[in-house]
A and B are shown apart, each in its own frame.
Chain A
Amino acid sequence: MSITNVLKFNTTEDVKLLDARGPRFGALLTTIVLTAILLTGSLPLLLWQLGVFALGAFAGPQASPYAFIYRKFVKPRLSGDMPTEDSRPPQFAQVVGFLFALTATISLLADVSSVFTVAVGFALAAAFLNAVFNFCLGCEMYLRIARIRSAISMRKTPEDSYNLPNL
C-alpha cells in the first residue's frame, strides 16, 4: 500500500501535504553543507545554512532553497507514485535544525569552538539520519519534549508536589 492511499482517511484535520521525497533530498544537501561547515568552520557557509533552516522553519519546508532545487532539477527526473506527507513533521525538523545552527553561529562568533562542534554535530547527525534512514525527528523528540514540559509546569504548582509526574 502506498502512502498516497492514506489521503482518503484524513478527513478531520486540515493538513498541507508535500511530496515526501523533497524534505529527504533537502536533508541530503543539508548533510553535505553541515559536513563542510564542521570541517572548515566557515562562517559564511554556516550563515547560509542558518538562513535555509529559518526559511524552512518559519515559512514552511517548501520555502527552503533546497526544496526549490528539488522541484526544479530533481523532481522532473523522477517517475512513479508521489509519496506525500504532512508538512508539519519536516517543519518541526527545520525548527530543531534552526536552533542548533543558531547555537553554532553564536558560539562561532564568540569563539567557543567546543559548543560550535557539538551543535553542528547534532544537526549533522539528524540530517544524516533523515537522509539515509528516513529518520522522523518529530516522532522521536516531540512527545519527550511535551512530557518534560508538562512535568516542569506541574512541579511549579505546590499543591501537586506530592504527586510528581516522572517525565
Chain B
Amino acid sequence: MDNYLPILIVFTLATAYGLWYQRSRGKLKNKSSRLGKPALTANEIGQELGSRVTLVQFSSAFCTPCRATRALLTDITADLDDVVHVDIDAEKNLDLVRRLDVRSTPTTLVLNGAGVEVGRAIGAPKRADVMATLNGIK
C-alpha cells in the first residue's frame, strides 16, 4: 500500500489541476474599467493604440498556443481598422509584465480606446469570445 499512496496523490492532484487548467485557459474575462486604474500608452506597448480596441498579447518562445493566438488575433484585426493587435515578447519586457501581473503565456489584454484594460484572456482565446468582447466595446 505504501507504494500506491504517492501514485494516488499525484494522479488526484494532477487531475484536479488539469480540469481547472482546461476550464480556465482561453477564457476571456471581462473586467470593469475601474476608475483610477492607469491606462497603457502607445509608448509602453511600442505601437499606436487602436482607436476603439487594442489587443495586447504577451508571448514567449516555449509556448505552443502563442502561435495560434497570434494567428487568430492577426486574422481578426486584419479587417477592422479601429482594432489593433500587438504581440509583445514577455521575456524582453519584464517590467511591463510585472506591472500588469502577467504570469503565463499567451496572455492577451483587451484595452479600450483610452488604453484601459477591460478584459483579459490567459491561454489561447476562442474566436467567438474575442468577437463578442470586441462587439461589446463601443
Contact = CB atoms under 8 A, between A and B. Distances in A.
Interface string B59-80: 0111111111011101100000
Interface string A118-133: 0011001100110011
B63 A139 contact: yes
Contacts of B21: 129, 133, 135
Nearest to B122: A139
Interface string B95-107: 1011000111110
Contacts of B98: 147, 165-167
A78 interface: no
Contacts of A166: 98
B7 A85 contact: no
A6 B63 CA distance: 14
B22 interface: yes
Nearest to B63: A139
B10 A128 contact: yes
Contacts of A40: 3
Interface residues of B, number: 43
Contacts, number: 118
Interface in A122-153: 124-125, 128-129, 132-133, 135-140, 142-144, 146-147, 150
B70 to A, nearest CB: 6
Contact count band on A:
35 or more
Contact of A140 (B9, B61, B104): B104
Interface in A71-118: 85-86, 88-92, 117
A63 interface: no
B10 A39 contact: no
A137 B65 CA distance: 11
Interface in B96-132: 97-98, 102-106, 123, 127
B18 interface: yes
27 contacts: A1-B72, A1-B75, A3-B67, A3-B68, A6-B70, A6-B71, A9-B70, A9-B74, A39-B4, A39-B7, A40-B3, A89-B64, A90-B64, A125-B14, A128-B11, A128-B18, A129-B14, A133-B18, A133-B22, A138-B60, A138-B61, A139-B123, A142-B62, A142-B63, A143-B58, A147-B98, A147-B103
Given A121-B6, A147-B98, 16 more contacts: A6-B68, A9-B71, A89-B62, A117-B6, A124-B10, A125-B17, A129-B21, A133-B18, A136-B63, A138-B62, A138-B64, A139-B63, A139-B64, A142-B105, A143-B58, A144-B103
Across chains A and B, which 4 residue pairs bring their CB atoms closest together, nearest first?
A138-B62, A133-B18, A92-B62, A125-B14
